[in-house]
Amino acid sequence: MVARLLLWWRVLRSLVRARGIVSWDEARPLLNLCLSRLWLRDRSRVGGTQEAGSRNGNLPPALFQMATGYWLSQAVYVAAKLGLADWLRDGPRSCQELAAVTGTDPRCLFRLMRALSAARIFVHTQGDHFALATAGKSLQRDAPGSQRAIIMTLGEVHYQAWGNLLHSVRTGSTGFASTFGTSLFAYLQSSPEAADTFNRGMSDVASMLAYAVLLAYDFSRISFLVDVGGGQGQFLRTILQLHPEMRGTIFDLPSTIEQARQYFSGDPCSSRIAAIGGDFFHSVPEGADAYVLCGVIHDWDDDPAVQILRNCRLAMNRKGKLLLVEVVVPDDDAHCFSKLLDLNMMVMTGGRERTRAEFTALLNTAGYRLSRIIPTLAPQSVLEAIPS
């Protein structure tokens, strides 16, 4: 009970500080995240509940359900790609109407939406009419907390690369390179459409993750923050919204920085944000109080990761801090997202997720001491390190 009250206090305190800067639509996904976490916590204490009866018939064996998981993931991807949630924004519509505006076969579209209604993405109202369920609202293009772009990139380049997981396990090289003939980042440089979807997906994830990080970590003593590998800058923007006294710099590849500058055009925080292009394997902007790398280090194996971290070490001021926002793999056999995410990094980039001991060793090699690990409401934690 005390932990729950403290969590709510931190949420409300952050929203009060952001009054007039963060809109209710932006804050609502954060509150939903908190409610979901508290609900799951309470549910686990009582051992969970199971729907009574057998409304949907007997389920197949659990292992078979795992093996067919991509059926559902691809169905969700197709719904995202077709923009069905946007067409249902104003209320229920028939499959005939939806097929006409999406260029699909109405009978096949009905079967897709019926299956996704069973997954609580849509609601089958009557006949061939469907409406949006609560979960389906996150498939809308511009909805707060939208997951449409990330689901599209997962359903396209990730899905194809994962078809070569066996290749990765056998050879130690990425399934992505085996599929596309080049690395993920080189492919994105050469494919503007895929890069746009990927970057928008990363920005949507970064926005919600930033709220979770803000609730867990105190940024009040940081006046100048550099977001290394910051993409289009959504993570940094969210932090600066809640800390109007802070200034920041986004640092990423020049092509990504051009997109970031367009994204920030006219933003209230733009006067406090610099956008600098470069290569973090060579150097990063100097003189910041803290350097944050959100989901960057897991993209790389140990040697390139150490090079990035050393460049941050060389750039920071004498009392600077390093903040890594990453999942931490537990040492036991606990079921957790980090272990599947680790496979994704193996397939996509050749990177890895790490345990606490592995992070400690990595940081020591790069000239840091791990000072603390702070859990957040998200799967990621904040790893704070200082120069050793």
Which residues are identified as catalytic? Answer: 298
SS (H, E, C) the chain: CHHHHHHHHHHHHHHHHCCCCCCHHHHHHHHHHHHHHHHHHHHHHCCCCCCCCCCCCCCCCHHHHHHCHHHHHHHHHHHHHHCHHHHCCCCCEEHHHHHHHHCCCHHHHHHHHHHHHHCCCEEEEECCEEEECCHHHHHCCCCCCCCHHHHHHHHHHHHHHHCCHHHHHHHCCCHHHHHHCCCHHHHHHHCHHHHHHHHHHHHHHHHHHHHHHHHHCCCCCCCEEEEECCCCCHHHHHHHHHCCCCEEEEEECHHHHHHHHHHHCCCCCHHHEEEEECCCCCCCCCCCCEEEEECCHHHCCHHHHHHHHHHHHHHCCCCCEEEEEECEECCCCCCCHHHHHHHHHHHHCCCCCEEHHHHHHHHHHHCEEEEEEEECCCCCEEEEEEEC
Q: Which two tokens stand for residue 4?
A: 């729950």
Q: Do the Cβ atoms of 105 and 99 come closer than 8 Å?
A: yes
Report the C-alpha gap between 286 and 224 in whole angstroms. Answer: 10
Count Cβ atoms below 10 Å from residue 236 Cβ, excluding itself: 29
